[in-house]
Amino acid sequence: MFKAILGDVSLLRDSLDAISSLATEGTFTINSNGLQLVAMDPASVSMAVFNLLSTAFVDYKIEGEKQITLNLDYLVQILKRAGVTDQVFLELNPDKNALEIIMKSTSTRKFVVPLLNDVSTPKKIPDLEFPVKLEIETNTFKDGIKDASMVSDCVVFNVEDNVFKMIGKGDVSETKLELTTDSPALISIDHSVSAKAKYAIEYLDKFNKASKLTDKVLIKFNTDYPLQVEFKTLDKLDLKFILAPRVEND
């Protein structure tokens, strides 16, 4: 048995909108802590780690632990049908082998999402250590990526002496966003080393679909090392994206 009522559908909708750009299907683990999902893109370049806490729901009931596999694209399409004032009811229906989604406001609408057979290999979350951690405003992060995309398909992250830079380099053009401890958009910075790494903008653009969830983003990386981008809402949501670096001989 699983029944839950979600008052703010954007927590689930906007998270899965970003994740579905990486993977078309996903297996959710549902337990007393909430909903968890680990998904990876087909090229194994990026990973999403999603946790929607039980405290994010208006009401939440689960017996034991269950795993369900769903088509993420279809699920997002349904969630986008929810209005701002709708309460969204989620309920597993074992007789139909489906997840039922009911939206209630001035009317009641029901969607039935069939469960899929999970044929994928379980995804293992990598054990990573990050000597560079910084938190910046989400819009600033998006600006740095958009600027770099004008001249390149990748962006360089650089931290040195409490200064963070996002740099895009083309054949003749260059863009740079720089944040210092005096910059209002830099909320915090903590680094024990200087670091420099390059990441594909294609994936960062997909991660930024989750930027509606919060006005700040936590960034962790190291030299030629995976990047972690985290969108978090206290006591409700934790969504992490991990991206492999692009290592080239310059």
Q: Mean pLDDT across the chain, nearest whole number?
A: 95
Q: Note whether 227 and 140 are same-domain residues.
A: yes
Asked if residue 123 is part of any domain, the answer here is no
As a whole number, mean pLDDT of residues 35-41 equals: 96
Asked if residue 121 is part of any domain, the answer here is no
Report d(CA 66, CA 108) in Å as an integer.
27
Nearest-CA neighbor of 140 among 208, 200, 195, 227?
Answer: 208
The pLDDT of residue 247: 82
Domain extent, residue 208, equals: 132-243
Q: Note whether 84 and 36 are same-domain residues.
A: yes
Q: Which amino acid appears at position 71 of this protein?
A: N
Q: Note whether 137 and 67 are same-domain residues.
A: no
Q: Note whether 110 and 149 are same-domain residues.
A: no
CA 232 to chain centre: 9
As a whole number, mean pLDDT of residues 37-49 equals: 95
Asked if residue 125 is part of any domain, the answer here is no
Q: What angle do CA 38, 41, 168 make, to 5 degrees?
A: 115
The pLDDT of residue 249: 58
pLDDT digits (tens, 9 = 90+) for 169-226: 998 899 999 999 999 999 999 999 999 999 999 999 999 999 999 999 999 999 999 9
Asked if residue 120 is part of any domain, the answer here is no
Residue 69 sits at φ, ψ, to 5 deg, of -110, 130
Domain boundary among 44, 79, 114: 114
pTM of the model: 0.94
Q: Note whether 98 and 145 are same-domain residues.
A: no
The pLDDT of residue 41: 94
Q: Note whether 140 and 70 are same-domain residues.
A: no
In percent, how much of the chain has pLDDT > 70? 99
Nearest-CA neighbor of 205 among 119, 121, 132, 146?
Answer: 146
- Per DSSP, the three-state class of 123 is coil
Report d(CA 231, CA 216) in Å as an integer.
7
Looking at the 3D structure of the chain, how many domains does it have?
2
The pLDDT of residue 70: 96
Question: On the CB side of 21, how many CA atoms lie within 13 Å of its CA?
Answer: 15
pLDDT digits (tens, 9 = 90+) for 85-117: 899 999 999 999 999 999 999 999 999 999 999
Q: Note whether 42 and 109 are same-domain residues.
A: yes
In percent, how much of the chain has pLDDT > 90? 91
Q: What CATH code is carried by the domain that includes residue 196?
A: 3.70.10.10
